[in-house]
Amino acid sequence: MTQFINSTDHLVTDALDGLLRTHRLSRLDGYPHIKVIFRRDTGNASVALVSGGGSGHEPAHAGFVAEGLLSAAVCGEVFASPSVEAVLAGILAVTGDAGCLLIVKNYTGDRLNFGLAAERAKALGRKVEMVVVGDDVALPDLPQPRGVAGTLFVHKIAGHLASQGASLATVASAARAVAKAARSYGVALDNCTVPGSSKDARVPTGKAELGLGIHGEPGVQMIDFTTATSVCTVLMDKLGESLDGGTGQVMLLNNLGGATPLEMQILLKTLLDTASGQHIRAVIGPAPMMTSLDMHGFSVSLLPAQEEWMQALESPVNCAAWPGSHRVGAIDVQPLPEGLRTTPGDSSHDESVSGLIADSCAAFLAMQDDLNALDARTGDGDTGSTVAQAARNLHAVIGKLPLADPPALLRAISDQLSVSMGGSSGVLLAILFSAASDAARAGDDTLTALREGVRRMMTYGGASLGDRTMIDALVPALDELLDSGSLQQAAQAARKGADATARMSRARSGRSTYVPAASLQGVIDPGAEAVARYFAMLAARNTSQ
């Protein structure tokens, strides 16, 4: 078992009971056959909204049972429609004189079971209307398109109207109009894992699947995947009809279950940056709203931004699963506080220094993949990326640096590293160059100043020789360079120090202190490796000149 479940036999009821323990909701008796979650405060005075379907789409549907949203959710097993009896039980539990609207996604099982339940409820004297949502535009030739995350537009707008006391006819009419106008499209990098079943890993590495369903159904097209931009552009093109139609659009950005919050924020930015993104007036999400278990993908649903619909979508609800609707605006940028700067001061030119910095940046960029791979064996695998980002940023401002003024140059490099290089290594190196700048202003030559900077860095960072850090390569290299003046010998000293870290079974500083000794054996510290490779580049450069 590779999922946090107890048994496939009662995973849905376990999940629903977990929800009920911390939310002011109720369930009908009748587990496991009847799984109905409903509000305690319905009062039956306003139109009841009932939706549901197969489980595996959490937080839909039970997570949206709240004032201003659903009155009840009828839950089936994973990806399986609930029974007619369960739907009828849900209708009868929450429907009063105002009547009930069933909101149903366009799948055969849901249509039939909810439809028959509606007829039985009518025979018992209840007023019931049903709206079927088919917002998926991935299969345009289907006479009955699938219902996917656009259903949430219907939940919220119909729920708002019901909470305002609108009649069943008014609520149903608005729900049908929203269902007709909504359109959705999904994309994924990997399929979902159905509990108790082997995974159908049908999406090859380097591909993205377009137009897949929320039950793990195959998509309509595989495309090459390179970046978020590549899939966002294609997806928005697929949704592009009527994007420029006067009112603009509301976008619901839905996490299908397996994308990280970081990815979802990047996708939001990327979608808004597309040519079609200029028409987006408001965004709901990004958030997991109608998922497909753990599918590594997302869907975009669009709805015309009619003012009455916008007001309904923006009305507050006490429901954690509903992320709210937020108007799209420009990024607000405020100046840095006094005393901080991100660009160097007065620039000056020195061709040899400029060339050295450019070559240094290129050397660190070339190490990126190797350092990441090395760091992944004992850490979080980002040393190369961190160093490369700092190198890119420094290279971009070479022409603005005070290249002919060593103390000022050392200070400028410190400033750049402090804002562009993440993690503790960025801070430590910024301290090194800041202290070196102070020493150079006091009269030390550059090498002596750098050695003083290393001493200060060791003081603040707490690392010493033998602690399995970059110090083990940097200190021997600088000491050798000060003693002999030979870059070749300094490079040899750095390599010897770096290699020695592979034989150190215990780290006394940095993130490696949390790593077991067995995992450190035979692995060179990535910071020390970076120093050794850098001095090797300096030696080779000196020889070629």
Q: What integer pLDDT is reported at residue 426 of this predicted model?
A: 84
Catalytic one of 57, 215, 279, 296: 215
Strand partners, 132: 104
Query: What is the identity of the amino acid at 241?
Result: E
Whether residue 415 contacts residue 336, with contact meaning beta carbons closer than 8 Å, is answered with no
- At position 357, the amino acid (one-letter code) is I
Q: What is the DSSP string of 450-471?
A: HHHHHHHHHHHH---TTSSSTH
Evaluate whether residue 446 is within a structural domain: yes
Please tell me whether residues 380 and 323 are part of one structural domain: no
- For range 362-390, the mean pLDDT: 90
| Calpha distance 349→347 (Å, rounded) | 7
pLDDT, residue 388, reads: 93
- Domain assignment present for residue 4? The answer is no
Q: How far apart are CA 410 and CA 298, in angstroms?
A: 46
**What is the distance between the alpha carbons of residues 524 and 375, in angstroms, rounded to a whole number?**
9
Q: Is the dihedral of CA 118, 48, 64, 267 positive or negative?
A: positive
Q: For 11-55, how does the pLDDT look when each residue is reduced to its tens digit (9 = 90+)?
A: 999 999 999 999 999 999 999 999 999 998 766 789 999 999 999
> Of 292, 327, 362, which residue is a domain's last?
327
pLDDT at 224: 93
Distance CA 194, CA 188 (A): 16
Fill in the amino acid letter for 159. Answer: G
Do residue 312 and residue 369 come from a single domain?
A: no
Same domain, residue pair 313 and 384: no
**pLDDT band at 544, cuts 50/70/90?**
confident
Q: Which residue has the tokens 């109207």?
A: 161
Residue 349 has pLDDT above 50, yes or no: yes
Averaged pLDDT, 426-440: 93
Residue 121 lies in a domain: yes
Is the peptide bond preceding residue 286 cis, with omega within 30 degrees of 0? yes
Domain presence at residue 342: no
pLDDT of the residue at 109: 93
> Which residues span the domain enclosing 24?
11-327
The structural domain count of the chain equals: 2
Residue 332: inside a domain: no
Judged against a pLDDT cut of 60, whether residue 516 lies above it is answered with no
Q: Does the annotation count 215 as an active-site position?
A: yes
- Do residues 303 and 392 share a domain? no
232 lies in the same domain as 373: no
| In the predicted structure, residue 483 carries a pLDDT above the cut 70 | yes
Residue 12 tokens read as 């849905």
Q: What confidence tier does 514 reach under pLDDT thresholds 50, 70, 90?
A: very low
* Secondary structure element (H or E) that encloses residue 189, with its range: strand 183-190
Task: Burial-class residue 329 by CB neighbours within 10 Å (0-12, 13-18, 19+).
Answer: exposed
Q: What are phi and psi of 338, to 5 degrees?
A: -55, 140
Task: Give the torsion through C-alpha atoms of 373, 379, 381, 383, to 10 deg.
Answer: -90
Q: What are phi and psi of 150, to 5 degrees?
A: -60, -20
The verdict on 322 and 404 lying in the same domain is no
**pTM exceeds 0.85 for this model:** no
Whether 175 and 213 map to the same domain: the answer is yes
Which tokens belong to 73? Answer: 């959710």
pLDDT bucket at 345, cuts 50 / 70 / 90: low
- Pair 282, 360 in one domain: no
Query: Residue 365 is part of a domain; what is its CATH number?
Result: 1.25.40.340
Residue 249 lies in a domain: yes
Same domain, 176 and 219: yes
Identify whether 296 is part of a domain. Answer: yes
* Angstrom distance (rounded) from CA 67 to CA 39: 8
Instruction: State whether 293 and 392 are in the same domain.
Output: no
Question: What's 346's DSSP letter?
Answer: S
Answer yes or no: do 404 and 315 share one domain. no
Q: Do 221 and 292 reside in the same domain of the chain? A: yes
Winning range, highest mean pLDDT, from 6-20, 204-218, 372-386, 496-510: 6-20
Tokens of 147: 């219902």
Task: Please confirm whether the linkage preceding 316 is cis (ω < 30° from 0).
Answer: no
Q: Name the token pair of 197.
A: 């079943």
